[in-house]
């Protein structure tokens, strides 16, 4: 990654809501468990709790609202410009609720990753926990993947399995998955920033332990 030789790699996080994964990333960075530094938060939602989390830790924050742009493409380009100002080595989607288009992704090739609360390719999109419960699976989990233009369709970096209990509700299942999301996200960010990732088509290889 570009900034490794000049200090800790730079991470920009995109979040739309509560920002619990964002908080986990901040905590890992401040405790030394993450090899990168969070240099900015960008949200499409001016009321996102994630913005208050960023303020509490002195992290610069920017709001880029979709309604400020005439088209999705213009929004993607505006979002990309906001991210580029932070010169990131990695862009992390942590509960960012919008699909990113080619205009954004072309600016950060192989530098955008996302966390999703299912074992992809199962239960893509919204309400993954509800989908898992309705389908009746015995196991679900979480996935960190590179972002492409599809809905949770990018190459998979890492996954963790979570059992589904007979009496689970969406809330109880979400809470158990979230614990694994926090750990997996840190693990995968470290692997990417340390240069331990190689891609061969859709196959992602992590090496070096």
Q: Which of 57, 116, 145, 182 is catalytic?
A: 116
CA-angle at 185, arms to 166 and 142, nearest 5°: 25
Q: Cβ neighbours of residue 58 under 8 Å, at least 6 residues apart?
A: none
116 as an active site residue: the answer is: yes
Burial class (CB in 10 A: 0-12, 13-18, 19+), 104: buried
Q: How many CB atoms lie within 10 A of CB 65?
A: 12
Q: Residue 81: is the preceding peptide bond cis (ω within 30°)? A: no
DSSP 4: G
Place of tokens 């470290």: 190
Which residues are catalytically annotated? 116
């Amino acid at each position: 990654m570009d900034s490794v030789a000049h200090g800790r790699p730079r991470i920009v996080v995109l979040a739309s809501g509560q920002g619990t994964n964002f908080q986990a990333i901040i905590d890992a960075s401040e405790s030394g468990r993450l090899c990168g530094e969070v240099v900015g938060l960008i949200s499409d939602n001016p009321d996102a709790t994630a913005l208050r989390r960023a303020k509490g830790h002195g992290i610069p924050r920017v709001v880029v609202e979709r309604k400020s742009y005439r088209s999705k493409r213009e929004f993607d380009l505006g979002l990309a410009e906001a991210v580029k100002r932070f010169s990131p080595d990695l862009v992390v989607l942590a509960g960012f609720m919008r699909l990113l288009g080619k205009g954004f992704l072309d600016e950060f090739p192989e530098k955008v990753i996302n966390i999703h609360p299912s074992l992809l390719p199962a239960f893509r999109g919204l309400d993954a926990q509800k989908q898992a419960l309705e389908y009746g699976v015995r196991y679900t989990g979480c996935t960190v993947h590179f972002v492409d233009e599809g809905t949770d369709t990018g190459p998979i970096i890492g996954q963790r399995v979570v059992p589904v209990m007979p009496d689970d509700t969406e809330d109880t299942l979400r809470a158990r998955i979230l614990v694994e999301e926090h750990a997996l996200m840190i693990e995968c960010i470290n692997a990417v920033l340390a240069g331990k990732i190689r891609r061969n088509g859709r196959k992602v290889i992590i090496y070096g332990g």
